Structure formats: C-alpha cells, structure tokens
Amino acid sequence: MKRSVLSEQEIDRIIEMAWEDRTPFDAILLQFGLKEAEVIALMRREMKPSSWRMWRARVQGRATKHSALRGFEVGRHKCSMQRQITGNKISKR
C-alpha cells in the first residue's frame, strides 16, 4: 500500500492526523502505509523547525499515539457540545 508519491492533500491529512492526540500512528499506517518513522520524517520535512520540535516533544511517549500503549478506556472522544445527527438532519439545540 505504500506509495512513493503523496498528493498535497494526503500530506495535509497525515499532518493533521499526526497532530491529533487521539489518532494513533497505526491509523496513519493503515490509511496511508506510512510507519511511525516515516511520519516523523514527513513531519520534519514539511514543518518549520520550531513547529516540528513542538510536535515531537508533544507526541514522544504519548500513550494515545501508540495503540499498544493505549488502554481500552481511552477509546474515541466525542465532545458533549457536538451536534447529534438524527433522521439525516442535524438537530439544533
């Protein structure tokens, strides 16, 4: 599944997923075929040095970024303010 050339949109999505606290590297691997080391290299290449250092410090050792370290209770997060979808319409509060 690994491709040598990623589109600009795919790179943007990978960066977005890498910044999300609750998206594990395994999800990026499944969707784009990039291992954790490849994601780190992509982030380093595509981001400003200061932004990369901030991201790297943020994710290093973070249990939610590594599926093997995640407990079941972490699960998916849904904001209590998120709108409910009922009957194919977004319900209003």
Question: Taking Cα atoms as reference points, which of 55, 46, 16, 56 lies closest to residue 32?
Answer: 16
Report yes or no on 11 lying in a domain.
yes
Find the domain containing 17 and state its range.
1-65
Give the CA-trace dihedral at 22, 26, 27, 33, to 10 degrees.
150
Report yes or no on 88 lying in a domain.
no
Give the helix/strand (H/E) hosting 7: none
Report yes or no on 93 lying in a domain.
no
Report yes or no on 25 lying in a domain.
yes
Cβ atoms < 10 Å from Cβ of 65 = 23
75, 39 in Cβ contact below 8 A?
A: no
Is the pLDDT assigned to residue 93 strictly greater than 50? Answer: no
Report yes or no on 35 lying in a domain.
yes
Percent of the chain with pLDDT over 70: 65
37-76 pLDDT, tens digit per residue, is 999 999 999 999 999 999 998 888 777 676 655 555 555 5
Name the domain count of the chain. Answer: 1
Report yes or no on 85 lying in a domain.
no
